[in-house]
Homo-oligomer: A and B are copies of this chain.
């Protein structure tokens, strides 16, 4: 594992105890930067070559947190644009050599733009698909150079090894692309387009409100830091957010956290659940909320201790019996995964601080993985 020197010591923590705390708090600003780069008024500004009318399929590839941004993206591209997606982690994608349609596009997500497996995946795909797209934070990187089109995520330098603001900015770019795809493919009226853009533009403000849950996450960290195991559950586009929450907790606090699709819990993993296993449920009140509440009740019937993260309506409707709840602002429409990244980050961050682990440089990890 090689380490790229990002000049961490030169960069200021700006009064925060850790770079990661600063980077979490920067998200309303950098997300606003990313969105205003790609959205001008009621218009999406993307390279002209990105016309989604002729593409028959989109392949999304990344590693670690970037693969989870891609996973959220899949839900958006499929539900908004009706564009079927394939998704894989780069190390599997490159070696299984999947059949790719020449009319398809392939999109690669990487903070550093140097991730070795993702770069190799791009090289595998580029002669086989109509277009390759890199969604990268470092505009001078190999993936930015080798992709047909490079889209910057504009998160600014991220020093914390565990990604925070780079993730939400990756999501922002994917959201803009999915809305563009939906519009290009005749799936949105102009009014619907405007409504989605309004939802996106509301996110920096909502994210700013969401930062207010930091104190409550700090309070919950006492509980989580005692746990050996934590499960994270979500449905739909919140399922990869649950995966990201688990990955973040694992990376920062070394607690064995694992994410599951809420509906999969009963097909095996619920055997793990007892009173010592906190179960974090990521569930804004949406069309699938009642299903998730019934999964929560299965957990509680087995003495699982639930932390429900939802909006006011969700907590009102489903919070009974939960050990704790975290109230998120309402709003954001389909793009709530961006908002719900914040409690994932703060829970992991404060739990790590409570455990005394090295938040900005977790053991065994490197910021940019430039070997296979």
Q: Write the residues of chain A forming the contact surface with B, with a CB cutoff of 8 angstroms.
A: 1, 63-65, 67, 75, 78-79, 82-84, 86, 89-92, 95-101, 117, 162, 228-229, 235-236, 239, 247, 250-252, 254, 256, 258, 261-264, 266-274, 288, 291, 294, 298, 302, 362-366, 369, 372
Question: Are B269 and A239 within 8 A (Cβ)?
Answer: no
The number of times this chain is found in the oligomer is 2
Instruction: Report A253 CB to chain B, min CB distance, Å.
Output: 9
Residue from the list B236, B254, B298 in contact with A1, Cβ < 8 A: B298
CB A282 to nearest CB in B, in angstroms, measures 14
Given contacts A63-B264, A256-B272, 19 further A-B contacts (CB under 8 A): A1-B266, A63-B263, A63-B267, A78-B96, A78-B98, A83-B99, A84-B86, A84-B99, A84-B101, A89-B267, A92-B236, A95-B291, A247-B269, A250-B271, A256-B256, A266-B366, A268-B365, A271-B363, A271-B365
- CB A247 to nearest CB in B, in angstroms, measures 5
A310 to B247, CA, bound (A): 28
Query: Are A89 and B365 in touch, CB under 8 angstroms?
Result: no
User: Complex formed: what's the CA distance from A270 to B369 in Å?
Assistant: 12
Q: Contacting A263 at CB < 8 Å: which of B90, B247, B274?
A: B90
User: Is B75 a contact of A268 with CB atoms below 8 Å?
Assistant: no
Task: Output the least CB separation between A95 and chain B (Å).
Answer: 6
Bound CA–CA A311/B79 (angstroms): 45
B-side contacts of A363, CB under 8 Å:
271, 302
How far, in Å, is A226 (CB) from chain B's closest CB?
13
Q: How far is the CA of A95 from the CA of B162 in the complex (A)?
A: 31
- The answer to whether A271 touches B97 (Cβ under 8 A) is no
B271 to A236, Cβ gap below 8 A? no
Shortest Cβ gap from A267 to chain B (Å): 3
Are A263 and B99 also in contact (CB < 8 A) when A271-B364, A365-B270 are? no
Contacts of A302 in B (CB 8 A): 363-364
| Contact, CB under 8 Å: B97 / A79 | yes
Residues of B within 8 A of A291 (CB): 95, 372
A274 and B101 CA atoms in complex are apart in Å by 43
For the complex, give the distance between the alpha carbons of A75 and B75 in Å.
Answer: 23
Query: Contact between B288 and A268 (Cβ–Cβ < 8 Å)?
Result: no
Given A99-B82, A272-B250, also A258-B258 (CB < 8 A)? yes
User: Which one of B95, B162, B272, B362 lies within 8 Å of A288 (CB-CB)?
Assistant: B95
Q: Which residues of B contact A100 (CB under 8 A)?
A: 84
Alpha-carbon separation in the docked complex, A86 to B101 (Å): 14
Selected from B63, B82, B254, B264, the residue in CB contact (under 8 A) with A271 is B254
